[in-house]
Chains A and B, each alone.
Chain A
Amino acid sequence: DGGITQSPKYLFRKEGQNVTLSCEQNLNHDAMYWYRQDPGQGLRLIYYSQIVNDFQKGDIAEGYSVSREKKESFPLTVTSAQKNPTAFYLCASSSGTSGRVYEQYFGPGTRLTVT
């Protein structure tokens, strides 16, 4: 059964702690993305990666870090430097190449709450 998995669905952390959100895909897609969604808002791009060992900052990369060591995996770390980390985080993948954005497949999301 192909798709994107994100874990966990809900995550709670204390302020000042780093936390890593998991994203795995078995669609053999080259490109992967991380978005942040706040209540009642649209999606904002954090980071994206078009190929293994390469990634680019999106509009709101400050306070976040990523790695892309394997094609299937694109974990996102929310660091203590992120001022407002509480949000719904969505991972996506697509077969996009050469900078073109093709159909993106989204995971179920992780809701992070930091207190």
Chain B
Amino acid sequence: LAKTTQPISMDSYEGQEVNITCSHNNIATNDYITWYQQFPSQGPRFIIQGYKTKVTNEVASLFIPADRKSSTLSLPRVSLSDTAVYYCLVVNRDDKIIFGKGTRLHILP
């Protein structure tokens, strides 16, 4: 069964850059890769979306290699409020919507 793989958890310190990678080796050829942030007892919130190469917005960057079998979410200069669970979302070649199991990011002072 096609799936995505992310690290279960990561720790970092305030002010550091954090990179979270998601592998998705059965991704559909014509769909986007999307990342979400979720705080406890809330719905996930959209962070960034891309198809290939690099995308940047006001909160993050997304790096996607040419084969699109992985993607890396980059959070610059994290703060305590970035402590959350981060999910990647893709559509695989069977047209199934696949949410990763999430990476629990803990930011330390």
Which residues of A are at the interface with B, using a C-beta cutoff of 8 A?
A: 4, 33, 35, 41-45, 48, 58-59, 88, 90, 92, 99-109, 111
Q: A90-B44, A109-B41 in contact; A104/B34 too (CB < 8 A)?
A: yes
Alpha-carbon distance between A35 and B43 when the two chains are bound, in angstroms: 10
Tell me what chain B mostly uses at the interface: helix, strand, loop, or mixed: loop
Q: Which of chain A's residues have a CB closer than 8 A to the CB of B87?
A: 42-43
The answer to whether B42 has its CB under 8 Å from any CB of chain A is yes
Alpha-carbon distance between A98 and B27 when the two chains are bound, in angstroms: 16
CB-based A-B contact count at 8 angstroms: 57
Q: Which of chain B's residues have a CB closer than 8 A to the CB of A99?
A: 91, 95
**B100-A42 in contact (CB<8A):** yes
The answer to whether B45 has its CB under 8 Å from any CB of chain A is yes
Alpha-carbon distance between A104 and B87 when the two chains are bound, in angstroms: 13
